[in-house]
A = this chain, B = another copy of it.
Amino acid sequence: MAETRIRFGILGCAEIARKVSRAMLLSPNTTISAVGSRSLEKATAFASENRFPASTKVYGSYDGVLDDPDVDAFYIPLPTSLHLHWAVLAAEKKKHVLLEKPVALNVGELDAILAACESSGVQFMDATMWMHHPRTVSMKQFLSDEQRFGQLKSVHSTFTYVGEGDFLKNDIRVNPNLDSLGALGDTGWYSIRAILWANDYELPMTVTAFPDPEYNESGVILSCGATLNWNKDGKVATFYCSFLSNLCMDIIALGTKGNFRVHDFALPFNEKVGPFYAVSNSKWAELSLGCIPEPSEFKIGTDLPQEALMVHEFARLVEGIRGGEAKPETKWPVISRKTQLVVDAVVASIKKGFVPIEVVY
């Protein structure tokens, strides 16, 4: 059935593209048709090192891939500052767009990308892999369970890691001309998405950045956080993101009847199993000598890694559109835009001295 596989073109040879191209080869409904870099040599080496099919065409420019007629969809792992240009071009060429996060430097840029996709009738999806892990479905079932979880009251998410080697000086993610959102656009993106996900994508009313973010010499954010507030039933959320703290990828969601914790939400420690820890209807033991029950571990297995499930779902949507059976799924651009709006609100709150910023869709 290879002829029905969705054919990806890959724009750029970023480190993350190694992982996602592996996913394209793992997923049964996708293949890699072309890859382009500013250097033909680099693209050739990339295709070889990552065992691309012999049929994959290799280009020494992004434009070359973009013009390849045998590409159905583009995966764009370029630095954020280049997303507007290349994602719009891809959409204008009627190609579907799987775009790395953060999707844009601000919502204005994203809106231009989304308008181009909508105008061309192509699918847009951001590459937030953990959305596609079956664990995410299981956690959502728990969150939605009136008896086991009740009403959501608060969510707290942390995503930090320490960039290795000269990361803090030379990595794309801390370069003001390439990824000026820094840690907020990288790990903060995931935590903000987690908070929105837990809230059924209801945007907060206000976002208030924590005082005292950290920056590198170029003014790129290395650590920051914020409080999100819905002005409804006391519901609150916080997140903290950083390139300066040891790896931590937590969500704690608290409900009136239960709660759950996950410690590797964005990227499971183990590719095959995603655990989470949940408890319901806790009580103090007699004399408050303890509390029962203790949280239980729930292990959610998956045959394909989450990034392969992501490209599989993207390709499934593309296949439906190609066959004329479906229109682009609007859920994905909508939640990208909501995530970006919160990112933008954090930036605005920091710029204005950590005041609350209203968020309006």
Q: How far is the CA of A295 from the CA of B164 in the complex (A)?
A: 19
Judge whether A259 and B288 touch: CB under 8 Å.
Answer: no
Contact B236 A225 (CB under 8 A): yes
Q: Does A246 contact B (CB under 8 A)?
A: yes
A210 close to chain B: CB less than 8 A: yes
Residues of B within 8 A of A282 (CB): 161-162, 246-247
Looking at A1-9, A59-67, A173-181, A262-270, the stretch in contact with chain B turns out to be A262-270
Query: Considering the complex, which residues of chain A in the window 214-262 have a beta carbon less than 8 Å from any beta carbon of chain B?
Result: 214, 222-223, 225, 227, 229-236, 238, 240, 242, 244-248, 250, 252, 254-259, 261
Select which of B161, B230, B246, B292 is within 8 A of A150 by beta carbon.
B246
In the complex, residue of chain B having the shortest beta-carbon distance to the beta carbon of A223: B234
If A156-B156, A164-B283, A287-B19 touch, whether A229 touches B212 (CB-CB below 8 Å) is yes
A356 in the interface (beta carbon within 8 A): yes
List of 10 A-B pairs having minimum Cβ-Cβ separation, nearest first: A247-B282, A214-B234, A245-B254, A211-B229, A153-B245, A269-B294, A19-B287, A223-B234, A246-B258, A238-B238
A263-297 Cβ-contact flags toward B at 8 Å (1 or 0): 11001111100000101111110011111101100
List, in ascending order, chain B residues with CB within 8 A of A252's CB: 158, 248, 250
**Cβ-defined contact, A236 with B258, below 8 A:** no
- What 0/1 readout, one digit per residue, does chain A (335-348) give for beta carbons within 8 Å of chain B? 00000000000000
Q: What is the bound-complex CA distance between A46 and B229, given in angstroms?
A: 45
B256 touches A245 (CB 8 A): yes
Instruction: Let me know if B238 and A259 touch, CB within 8 A.
Output: no
**Shortest CB distance A207–B (Å):** 10
Report the minimal beta-carbon distance from A250 to chain B, rounded to whole angstroms. Answer: 6
A269 vs B293: C-alpha distance in the bound complex, in angstroms? 8
**Can you sample 27 A-B contacts with CB below 8 Å?**
A153-B160, A153-B223, A154-B158, A161-B282, A162-B257, A164-B283, A208-B354, A211-B231, A213-B234, A214-B234, A225-B227, A225-B236, A227-B238, A234-B242, A245-B255, A246-B254, A246-B280, A247-B259, A247-B283, A247-B284, A250-B261, A264-B291, A267-B290, A269-B291, A271-B289, A271-B290, A289-B305
- Residue A94 lies at the interface, judged by CB distance under 8 Å to chain B: no
Q: Is residue A22 within 8 Å, beta carbon to beta carbon, of the partner chain? A: yes
A29 at the interface (CB under 8 A from B): no
| Interchain CB contact (< 8 A) of A246 among B156, B164, B281, B284 | B281
Give A184 Cβ to nearest chain B Cβ, in Å.
13
Let me know if A38 is at the binding interface, CB within 8 A.
Answer: no
With A18-B287, A213-B234 in contact, do A292 and B263 touch (Cβ < 8 Å)? no
Q: Are A288 and B16 in contact (CB under 8 A)?
A: yes
A210–B223 CB distance below 8 A: no
In the complex, A206 has a CB within 8 A of chain B? yes
Complex Cα spacing A185 to B269, Å: 38
Q: Decide if A247 touches B164 in the complex (CB within 8 Å).
A: no
Say yes or no: B254 contacts A248, CB within 8 Å. Answer: yes
Chain B residues contacting A247 (CB-CB under 8 Å) are 259, 279, 282-284, 291
